[in-house]
Amino acid sequence: MNQTIKRLARSACWLPALLLPFFLGAAGAHAAAEVELGISEYADTTRAHLKLPGEPPAGVRLSSSTADHADFKELQGPFSSGPEVTEACLSCHNKAGHQFMKGIHWTWEYKHPVTGQTLGKKHLVNNFCTNARGNEGMCAQCHAGYGWKDENFDFTDQSKIDCLVCHDATGSYYRTPNSEGNAACSSMFEDKPPIEWARVAQGVALPNRANCGTCHFYGGGGDGVKHGDMDSSLKYPDKALDVHMDAQGLDFSCTECHQGEGHQWSGSRYNMEAKDSEGTGKPGQRRQVATCESCHGDTPHPGNNLQAIKLNGHTDRVACQTCHIPTFARGGVATKTDWDWRTAGKLKDGEGFKLKEYTQSNGEHRATYKSIKGDFKYGENLQPTYAWFDGVMNYTTIDTRFDPAAGPVEINGFKGAYNDPGSRIWPFKKMHTTQPYDKGNNTLVYMHLWGNDQDAFWGNYDFGRAIKVGMETSSLPYSGEYGFVETVSYWPITHMVAPKTAALSCAECHAEEGRLSGLNGFYMPGRDSFGWLDILGYMAVIGALLVALGHGVVRIVMCKKRVTEHCKEKE
């Protein structure tokens, strides 16, 4: 009897999904193993934004500017370096340097106003390449400045600002590492065409997706590695991949949403707006946030019908991205989902190598093993992980102590709950890694990865030496004993917004095994059931409908027989 009740209750859960329309009127295959000797790490990244044969012209945003930079005498050259171009830029844009040097793209540092933590690439440990600190010679390719090799970099020197990495519209500008790596990394310096500095300086424009994507598409060491919702497929996406960035449609640049003033841009994963209750503000778009609501408002679904009312009723508890980004990494480029540093250091004939065993949807082969990093796993068209999120991330920093036996260490943990009015259900990419840690102090570690010396891991493959030097360089304690610990990080999914016709249907969440089945502590219609109570409720609804229908039928029949007073009066 009890089993029958449970089956009826589960069946009844589908009734709303069945009745609602009445009232409202796929992954990467594995390729044969491909072995590539040597280390060409990031070689593709340095060419990421270059215009390739067959590509459409680089998109240049229209502006109200009345100046043609090609005619400026200050930009005629000759120039022999980037800093020389910067000095020419700042001779006219004399406030830009002061503005830019206050931002995170220059400082790589952020003080969180809620947690008080000091964040930014200058300090944090991640679960990809682990740390930029101490490896600036390599990692600072994605710093918007010239020459950051070590702690001696002068952050007050405006001539070190790289204007071109954000404003080049020729597609011919590129960056290389700021210092030499191990001899095996020499491929990153080879076969580079000379930069025509005057041509590039004269061909500047407002930033386009390729400019931003030079770094943001390639975070974590390769195309689409880190975020999952940002990769090279967004250079020229179609509408199915992203309705806002559709190259043949709205063709939004990144700064269309990440607006700002004075070289300070809105939107940061360090301090997110999980729930924007202000909406579009007055007048029009607000420039200090990069939320869906700042353009679409908090009642984005038009109309006064039941469907619009119900959908708008979700916006205070469910982030727009949860419904409108059904999957990520769906542009043909795979994202990494698992990284195991323990296997790093294997050699073939005394030389490091890559093993390419994954072919992503666009046909490109991806490395599943690298001597300098270990083993990887990838995924495409992935369903996000869903969680209540209040916008505040708490990071495991280099001095955070943890219990390695307590389960995976959260690189960036967060809170959120159903009963918290500031929380909403958000989609995330969840990254899993097994990486080195200080076994004696139970902390994460800085590793010395890059350098033309005997201690750099990307050359000697010695974890002990690389960790020792990495910690000593930053004047941090190290017990001398390392181990490996599991870590996870969470990456909010906000790009690759699908057309509204591809948004999640009600039944994809409101179901017993739906997308939100892992969220507990609250009642969700269609997912949760209370046995006899649910059955009685549905019976009451169905009974009311039958009574109304029966009443209508009786009135029609009686009218035809001219029995009721109502019908007689009409005669």
Predicted local distance difference test score (pLDDT) of residue 490: 98
Render each residue's pLDDT in the chain as its tens digit; 571 residues. Answer: 444 444 444 444 444 443 343 333 333 444 445 666 555 544 444 445 455 556 655 444 555 567 889 999 999 999 999 999 999 999 999 999 999 999 999 999 999 999 999 999 999 999 999 999 999 999 999 999 999 999 999 999 999 999 999 999 999 999 988 888 887 666 666 778 899 999 999 999 999 999 999 999 999 999 999 999 999 999 999 999 999 999 999 999 999 999 888 898 888 889 999 998 888 866 656 777 889 998 898 899 999 999 999 999 999 999 999 999 999 999 999 999 999 999 999 999 988 999 999 999 999 999 999 999 999 999 999 999 999 999 999 999 999 999 999 999 999 999 999 999 999 999 999 999 999 999 999 999 999 999 999 999 999 999 999 999 999 999 999 999 999 999 999 999 999 999 999 999 999 999 999 999 999 999 898 898 777 777 888 899 999 999 999 888 888 877 776 655 556 555 5
Task: Give CA 415 to chain center in angstroms.
Answer: 19
Task: Give CA 148 to chain center in angstroms.
Answer: 26
Distances (CA, A) of 233 to 67, 185, 213, 325, 433: 32, 27, 10, 16, 25
Predicted local distance difference test score (pLDDT) of residue 288: 78
One-letter amino acid at 178 equals: N
Secondary structure (3-state) at 474 = coil
Q: How far apart are CA 242 and CA 99, in angstroms?
A: 31
Cβ atoms < 10 Å from Cβ of 221: 20
* Per-residue DSSP letter, 476: -
CA contacts within 13 A on the Cβ side of 570: 7
Strand partners, 248: none
Alpha helical stretches, state H, 96-220? 96-100, 104-107, 136-139, 164-167, 197-202, 209-216
Q: How far apart are CA 242 and CA 357, in angstroms?
A: 29
Predicted local distance difference test score (pLDDT) of residue 501: 96
Asked if residue 390 lies in contact with residue 420, where contact means CB atoms within 8 angstroms, the answer is yes
Alpha helical stretches, state H, 306-424? 306-312, 320-324
| Phi and psi, residue 127, nearest 5° | -115, 45
